[in-house]
Structure 1
């Protein structure tokens, strides 16, 4: 049984998703009951964190084995001597996997309570402490140093500064308050930093904030797969069209041994600044970041000689990563998804504009990888079907590594085409979390297989451009 209830969705969104995951092609192949079971399993999975925390080693600065040993020491210290292993992924040599212990059902709930917002609650479930801006409510007489129970207000109904909240709330663990109630809700409202230091979260994940920051990058497993699928080579010119905050950008640069050009773009200046900060932190010099709307990245007419930034000439990149803005419905944990149906279905036109620009910027023989962190058909397989029909110059390619499942039926793609896609579907996992005993009794091979399946919902498609027409 699921520890938390299924993800809370707007009724119209839940109906929409139900129709997507019970479409005619799926029901014909699986049957109504199996399609319904998989859909129900998916909704339950989305409210829970993945079974592993995934980190990418910056192999530009250190070896994986060296960082693995340092990470083991840090986890041992954080987990109060509890022995939790760190695994190197066999197909992604720069990826380390840390098992998540939980849900821990023996924790005692305390009389003093702190209520946090949904996003803060999601972060706590993946190892974060509670930062002051995320706190909505605290018990009347709470002082610094008090032991408190932390709850997530998944419906967003708690009023800021409330002394008690009787609405729907989900227990996410216990901690120690770093500040008094009065300090948290002072009139200035400008406090930052940790408000509650989590000591006993429901899910035991390592807190990696400022831990080996030059050498580790916290990154979901499918996000790391994307860069390996693009497979950039030293000396090539690569474009990351929607790059912030720079996880995939810096991964691409690392895989290229910092040799060549990685052009990163985002249309929001503060996000571009974050890309540059991450590149500097990881000491990668081949990255050049620009503030630019990806739909406007193609130059009309001839560009100036030696121009580094956008707009760019047609057919000027060897490989392009298009990790598009999307509805984000594959992100986990997410106990409450507040977007309306109009918002969920609004991304397809933008994604197609970005895709069209990417095709024009790609050299003949070049590789284009399209990815999302969502589960809908309209943003994934339907986009592939549209792209193949709209651009005869594109051809689907097999993906390496391929650790996800094949694409989902319902967009009219052939079985052979679906096998060339990579969809990470958490609904294939029937249980959530693990305790320390099951972890120690399991084989490493089985745990790696679980990590491949029990991750965020993600989609990857890889194309080659055969000619310029």
Structure 2
């Protein structure tokens, strides 16, 4: 995935960026102008600069120097002078610093065969296979942006059927449409719509095929829920408060309830997050099994990650039906990588957990009416 480099010489000319921009840089991005908070007063275009992240948000916009808490992200070449950056904000949006020596070497595949490739983390790719969409089905991706799973689902269906993608943010929905067009996928229909309101409460016949939808409209639903994102890595530091982390649970339950209503009897619902907290993962599964009794927890295929975590009151058998990618708790193991091709999948699961983001997957089937 990436590895840290500790021998980069820091430069006298500094650029300070916000925490969100800093995380993007750690994962392979350049520094874009809107993310720049401060720059040295003598910075010119073409200068070699050191980039730091202000993780506590204490640096004032436009400051010429900053002595607060900051994390070194690497070196790059400034595309603009300090004056050009701060005199033309907020309309300036291009690259401000092109990273040449980042602390983490995270390879970028942007614009590499864009009509053929869509970069995904391993767990994100596993999710679509667990959902197992079939040609001719009607699939809902309830929280779809940025659309990697949406396009993967359509590809697995051989672009035969219908994939409905919903997201609340209009520019992200446009990005989903652009990716579908770029990849030549005609089965995707994307809408700017709040997933918590996707259930049509009145029983008037649905004639337009747009959200909201009648109950039991979909063969399979992916709920890749909004979450605290604590599984994303590399990361500078945990800047979330306990209140912020726990705020996601009610929203996830609203979406869970809507998804269960929209699913056909016998249909498949896959719930996933890119976080590692018990409250957003195993506790949500336990809540769903208790509150939505028509949902049954299922085994997953493929099963690449580890089993679920104790603490939510789930049985040992139920934990085995969950899939958790959690690199921080997987012990390092000595292994002959040359023999991996001959090893059983259960013997090599630790490898998948060792170099990916933190992630969680649960699969349910809706009981048919009796």
TM-score (norm 1): 0.73
Structure 1 CA distance, aligned partners of 2:252 and 2:89? 41
Which of residues 255, 261, 271 in structure 2 aligns to 1:360?
A: 261
The equivalent residue for 1:257 is: 158
Q: Does residue 371 in structure 1 map to residue 272 in structure 2?
A: yes
**Distance (whole Å) between structure 1 residues aligned to residue 179 and residue 309 of structure 2:** 35
How far does the alpha carbon of each residue in 1:199-233 deviate from its partner, in whole angstroms, 9 at most, with x for none? 11111222333332222222222111111100101
Q: For 1:457 and 1:191, how far apart are their aligned partners in 2?
A: 34
- Relative CO higher for 1 or 2, CA cutoff 8 Å, sep ≥ 6? 1
2:38 to 137, 148, 153: 137
Give, in whole Å, the separation in 2 of the partners of 1:150 and 1:310: 44
Task: Indicate conservation of the 8 Å contact 1:155/1:336, yes or no.
Answer: no
| Rounded Cα–Cα distance in structure 1 between residues aligned with 2:7 and 2:192 | 49
Give 1:305 shift. 5.5
3-state DSSP of counterpart to 1:356: helix
1:288 alignment counterpart: 189
Q: 1:213 to 1:309 in 2, by over 3 A?
A: same
Please name the residue that 1:403 is paired with: 304
- Which whole-Å deviations, capped at 9, do the CAs of 1:115-150 have from their partners, x for residues lacking one? 111111111111111111111111221111111111
Q: What does the per-residue CA deviation read over 1:68-106, in whole Å, with 9 as the maximum and x for residues that have no partner?
A: xxxxxxxxxxxxxxxxxxxxxxxxxxxxxxxx3x31112
- Aligned mate of 1:423, from 303, 324, 332: 324
Match of 1:438 in 2: none
Q: Which runs of 5+ in 1 are unaligned?
A: 1-51, 53-99, 432-440
Note the alpha carbon deviations across 1:32-72, whole angstroms, 9 max, x for none: xxxxxxxxxxxxxxxxxxxx1xxxxxxxxxxxxxxxxxxxx
**Map of 1:380 onto structure 2:** 281
**1:233-382 equivalent positions in 2, closer than 5 A:** 233-304=134-205, 306-382=207-283
Structure 1: how far apart are the matches of 2:131 and 2:151?
A: 13
What does the per-residue CA deviation read over 1:305-337, in whole Å, with 9 as the maximum and x for residues that have no partner? 643112222212111111111222222223234
**1:269 Cα offset (Å):** 2.7
**Residues 105 and 222 of structure 1: is their aligned pair in 2 closer, same or farther, counting only changes over 3 Å?**
same
Q: Secondary structure at the match of 1:342?
A: helix
Structure 2: where are the runs of 5+ without partners? 342-347
SS at match of 1:107: coil
Whole-angstrom distance in 1 between the partners of 2:154 and 2:249:
29
2:344 maps to which residue? Answer: none
Instruction: Report if the CA contact (8 A) 1:129-1:207 is conserved.
Output: no
Q: Distance in 2 between matches of 1:287 and 1:219?
A: 18
The residue number in structure 2 matching 1:70 is none
CA shift at 1:248, angstroms? 0.9
TM-score normalised by the chain length of structure 2? 0.91
- Whether 2:6 is the aligned partner of 1:105: answer yes
* Displacement after TM superposition at 1:430 (Å): 5.7
Partners of 1:466 and 1:304 in 2: CA distance = 24
Aligned to 1:193: 94
- The two structures, once aligned, show a CA RMSD in angstroms of 2.1
Task: Pick closer, same or farther for the CA change 1:194–1:442 going to 2, 3 Å.
Answer: farther
Instruction: Tell me the distance in 1 between the aligned counterparts of 2:157 and 2:132.
Output: 9
1:226 partner SS: helix
Aligned to 2:345: none
How many correspondences in the alignment?
361
Partner of 1:178: 79
CA distance in 2, matches of 1:212, 1:384: 39
Q: CA deviation at 1:383?
A: 1.1
